[in-house]
């Protein structure tokens, strides 16, 4: 006898989860707030019968709960794209009750806009990569504050290359005024501390990816260093989850946005979807490839020769490189 299972929508919050259970015909069986733990959610939902599919929006903490429900409760859980789910909602009001019911209904009829549930090791690498980026961003901000302090005192450029050891020693010997000297000393101390922390994070990245075949292959490519390779591995995860290199390039935010209408055919810059940090990493990698790799520098020169601005040429090189890389990495993952 065939057992028909229910559909479950989960509206995730830090302390609680709104759980909505729908029958296969869409009948509301229950919609209640449960504690944010697997046993409470499973006990409530399975009280109405077997669970066939569940859905929740992708947000902080949702992936860990989804993995628990998959591995320990045997559920089939899908993560929904928050932006697309919000656009599909016709009601301007927002309640946990309504959000959970909509998720349950979308997964019931197969219309949920799904996103990839990354495995635990990829999520852990992603946290480490983003932590290193946060440190680098904070270090950049400290440098900007030091520059601003020098401009405020109309100090001309130093005798050495900026941010070198000799240049920082020159900064320490500057006399800007009692309060400015106090501020500068703390900026320099914070800069040294952040530089050390960035190095420690990069050493940790090298350690945890030492046996990763994808990262090892990426490191053999011209213009690709440890930080770029780890960022690609963490943010993309598995390359073979994409159907084509073109789809991967769009995920990375390197595809031109179509702005055509009638007989007018035009592009309107890069699409706004995708991970902005991943796009920035790839644009920087494309700029290095245009300088160091003969194949991609030739493409960049051709584009520049046709009147394309440098930033447009770099984005185009990044797009082509990602599509080429997709074939390389997919082969490696399938062989591993």
What is the rounded average pLDDT for all residues in the chain?
A: 90
Q: What is the DSSP letter of 27?
A: -
Rounded mean pLDDT, 6-16: 94
Confidence of residue 84 (pLDDT cuts 50, 70, 90): confident
pLDDT over 70 for what percent of the chain?
94
Please state, in angstroms and rounded to a whole number, the distance separating the CA atoms of residues 298 and 296.
Answer: 5
243 vs 87, more confident = 243
Which token pair is 259? 């702005």
pLDDT over 90 for what percent of the chain?
68
Domain boundary assignment for the chain: 6-115, 120-208, 213-335
DSSP H helix total and E strand total for the chain: 13, 8
51-55, 59-63, 130-134, 255-259: least confidently modelled range: 255-259
Question: What integer pLDDT is reported at residue 2 of this predicted model?
Answer: 44
Question: What integer pLDDT is reported at residue 324 of this predicted model?
Answer: 93
Handedness of CA 319, 320, 325, 326 (dihedral sign): positive
**Closest to 269 measured CA to CA, from 315, 303, 300:** 315
Question: What integer pLDDT is reported at residue 263 of this predicted model?
Answer: 62
Rounded mean pLDDT, 130-134: 96
Residue 157 has pLDDT above 80, yes or no: no
Q: What is the DSSP letter of 49?
A: S
CA distances (Å), 259 to each of 221, 270, 310, in order?
34, 11, 21
CA 103 to chain centroid, in Å, comes to 23
Rounded mean pLDDT, 168-173: 87
Question: What integer pLDDT is reported at residue 266 of this predicted model?
Answer: 55
The reported pTM is 0.85
CA distances (Å), 4 to each of 23, 49, 53, in order?
9, 9, 11
Residue 191 has pLDDT above 50, yes or no: yes
Please state, in angstroms and rounded to a whole number, the distance separating the CA atoms of residues 159 and 231.
Answer: 36
For 215, what's the count of Cα atoms within 13 Å in the CB-facing half-sphere? 21
7-21, 47-61, 163-177, 232-246: least confidently modelled range: 163-177
Report, in this order, helix, strand and coil percent for the chain, each rounded to 5.
60, 15, 30
Residue 3 has pLDDT above 90, yes or no: no
Q: What is the pLDDT of residues 257-305, one digit of tens each?
A: 766 666 665 566 677 777 888 999 999 999 999 998 899 999 999 999 9
Question: What integer pLDDT is reported at residue 104 of this predicted model?
Answer: 95
| 54, β-bridge pairs | 8, 77
Q: What is the pLDDT of residues 214-237, one digit of tens each?
A: 999 999 988 899 999 999 999 999
CB 269 within 8 A of CB 256: yes
Residue 1 has pLDDT above 60, yes or no: no
CATH of domain 6-115: 3.30.420.40
3-class DSSP assignment, residue 242: coil
């Amino acid at each position: 006898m065939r057992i028909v299972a229910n559909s479950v929508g989960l509206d995730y919050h830090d302390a609680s989860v709104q759980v909505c259970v729908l029958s296969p015909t869409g009948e509301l069986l229950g919609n209640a707030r449960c504690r944010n733990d697997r046993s409470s959610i499973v006990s409530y939902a399975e009280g109405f019968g077997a669970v066939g599919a569940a859905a929740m929006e992708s947000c902080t903490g949702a992936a860990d709960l989804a993995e628990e429900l998959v591995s320990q409760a045997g559920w089939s859980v899908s993560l929904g794209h928050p932006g697309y789910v919000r656009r599909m909602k016709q009601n301007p009001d927002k309640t946990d009750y309504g959000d959970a019911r909509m998720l349950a209904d979308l997964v019931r009829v197969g219309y949920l806009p799904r996103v990839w549930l990354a495995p635990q090791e990829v999520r852990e690498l992603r946290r480490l990569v983003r932590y290193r980026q946060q440190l680098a961003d904070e270090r950049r901000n400290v440098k900007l504050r030091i520059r601003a302090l020098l401009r405020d005192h109309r100090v001309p450029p130093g005798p050495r290359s900026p941010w070198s050891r000799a240049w920082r020693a020159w900064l320490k010997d500057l006399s800007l005024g009692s309060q400015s000297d106090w501020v500068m000393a703390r900026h320099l101390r914070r800069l040294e501390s952040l530089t050390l922390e960035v190095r420690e994070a990069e050493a940790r990245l090298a350690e945890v990816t030492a046996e990763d075949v994808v990262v090892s292959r990426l490191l053999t490519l011209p213009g690709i260093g440890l930080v770029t390779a780890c960022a690609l591995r963490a943010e993309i995860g598995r390359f073979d989850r994409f159907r084509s290199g073109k789809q991967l390039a769009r995920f990375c935010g390197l595809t031109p946005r179509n702005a055509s209408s009638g007989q007018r055919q035009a592009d309107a810059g890069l699409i706004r979807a995708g991970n902005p940090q991943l796009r920035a990493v790839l644009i920087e990698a494309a700029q290095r490839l245009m300088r160091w790799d003969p194949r991609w520098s030739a493409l960049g020169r051709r584009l520049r020769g046709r009147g394309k601005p440098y930033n447009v040429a770099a984005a185009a090189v990044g797009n082509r490189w990602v599509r080429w890389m997709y074939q390389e990495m997919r082969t490696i993952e399938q062989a591993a």
